[in-house]
Amino acid sequence: MSIVVLDLEWNQGNQTKERQDPGMPFEVIEIGAVRLNDQLEHEADYSRLIRPTCYTTMHFITGKLLHISMEDLRNEEPFPVVIRDFLAWCGKDPLFCTWGPLDLTELQRNMRWHGLAPLADGPLPFLDAQKLFSIAFQDSHERISLEHAVDQCGIRKEIPFHRAHDDAWYTALILQRIPRHLFSYYSFDYFTIPENREHEVHVRFDSYAKYISRGFQDKTAALEDAEVMSTRCYVCGRRAAREISWFTPNGRQYYSVSCCPEHGLMKAKVRLRKAEDGEVYVVKTERFIGEKDVRELSERARKAEKTEGKKEYRMRAGQRKKRAGKGRT
């Protein structure tokens, strides 16, 4: 299996000249990649510019950053031609690697806009080198720029940044320095979500588990689903008694704490996301935590309950005021 380290450069509409297309907010104008074998040895390089179809005026920031003009792209092939050539170059069933989580989503938005099928019929596993770098050399939460990571690794900066192949080359050099066992912490691109319950994703990593749901009509339907809100132990599958009930600090993320009699305290986090077709889907992560984390979550739950109580009070007060106003007319 080959690892294809990918980087894209894209253009977008200028507010005063071209209106942003919600179906493709960023149009890919360059694809660069480095292909590695299963020993992480360099195999081949790919670099192509693309003639734009949607945004035919170069955004001033894009042009300044990439040093590319529309004149440079005028004689290039359009996206459908280049993407077919690129995917053929990638070979069968490549494992993609990018710096950060955005490139594969934007690539597939471009594919959809041009009437092409996505890269996968469900969530697509890939290596996020930015995340893996943080796990290997930082606190696993911080995310830094590619150039800062290159500096931290002591890699000589012999080529400039902010061109697709050059950034893919640097990303490949960093990937070669990340301990191979950390590749088990792969990520998912959510451009295509599971089509039904049968295809939902359940995956267990060394220190946590992840669940990716099918699409729901709305937030309410998602939060009423038994699988979404369940808190079974992801190691033994036993039901875990709820220590802290589900709460939300912001209406988008929900937390709970349960206790497995065999494996201990487990935090569950549900994130609500909107799919490309407008449906709502859920990404749930579960991990075991200590007493200190439980105390912190308990305090967050108390604050969330207090805030929700204030909202409820204000809503009821508004309703009473509205009724009183009607009574005076």
Residue 169's CATH number: 3.30.420.10
* 111-141 residue pLDDT tens: 999 999 999 999 999 999 999 999 999 999 9
Residue 316 resides in a domain: no
Measure the CA–CA gap between 32 and 159, rounded to whole angstroms: 14
Contact 34, 169 (CB under 8 A): yes
Question: Do 101 and 236 belong together in one domain?
Answer: no
Question: Do 183 and 200 belong together in one domain?
Answer: no
Distance of alpha carbon 116 from its chain centroid, rounded? 21
Measure the CA–CA gap between 199 and 174, rounded to whole angstroms: 33
Question: Do 125 and 182 belong together in one domain?
Answer: yes
* 66-100 residue pLDDT tens: 788 889 999 999 999 999 999 999 999 999 999 99
Residue 76 resides in a domain: yes
Residue 327 resides in a domain: no
Question: Do 81 and 49 belong together in one domain?
Answer: yes
Q: Residue 9 phi/psi, 5° resolution?
A: -120, 140
Model confidence at 64, in pLDDT bands (50, 70, 90)? confident
Residue 320 resides in a domain: no
Distances (CA, A) of 300 to 229, 258, 275, 291: 19, 16, 28, 14
Question: Do 177 and 54 belong together in one domain?
Answer: yes
Structure tokens at 122: 């469900």
Residue 315 resides in a domain: no
Measure the CA–CA gap between 249 and 253, rounded to whole angstroms: 7
Check whether 318 has a pLDDT greater than 60: no
Question: Do 24 and 157 belong together in one domain?
Answer: yes
Check whether 14 has a pLDDT greater than 80: no
Question: Do 82 and 157 belong together in one domain?
Answer: yes
Reported for 63-69, long-range contacts at CB under 8 A and 24+ positions apart, including other chains, are 65/162, 66/9, 66/30, 66/162, 66/163, 68/9, 68/29, 68/30
Check whether 16 has a pLDDT greater than 90: no
Question: Do 129 and 198 belong together in one domain?
Answer: no
Measure the CA–CA gap between 217 and 284, rounded to whole angstroms: 18
Tokens 């986090």, located at residue: 269
Across 242-252, average pLDDT: 93
Question: Do 232 and 166 belong together in one domain?
Answer: no
Check whether 185 has a pLDDT greater than 50: yes
Q: Name the nearest CA neighbour of 171 among 198, 131, 141.
A: 131
Question: Do 199 and 60 belong together in one domain?
Answer: no
In which domain, by residue range, is 210 found? 194-309
Question: Do 8 and 117 belong together in one domain?
Answer: yes
* 24-43 residue pLDDT tens: 999 999 999 999 999 999 99
Measure the CA–CA gap between 83 and 90, rounded to whole angstroms: 10
Residue 322 resides in a domain: no
Across 300-309, average pLDDT: 85
The pLDDT assigned to 325 comes to 58
Residue 314 resides in a domain: no
Residue 324 resides in a domain: no
Distance of alpha carbon 100 from its chain centroid, rounded? 8
Last residue of one domain, picked from the residues 161, 187, 213: 187
* Domain count across the chain: 2
- Cβ-based burial of 50 (10 A; exposed 0-12, middle 13-18, buried ≥19): buried
Structure tokens at 131: 């995340």
Question: Do 211 and 169 belong together in one domain?
Answer: no
Check whether 284 has a pLDDT greater than 60: yes
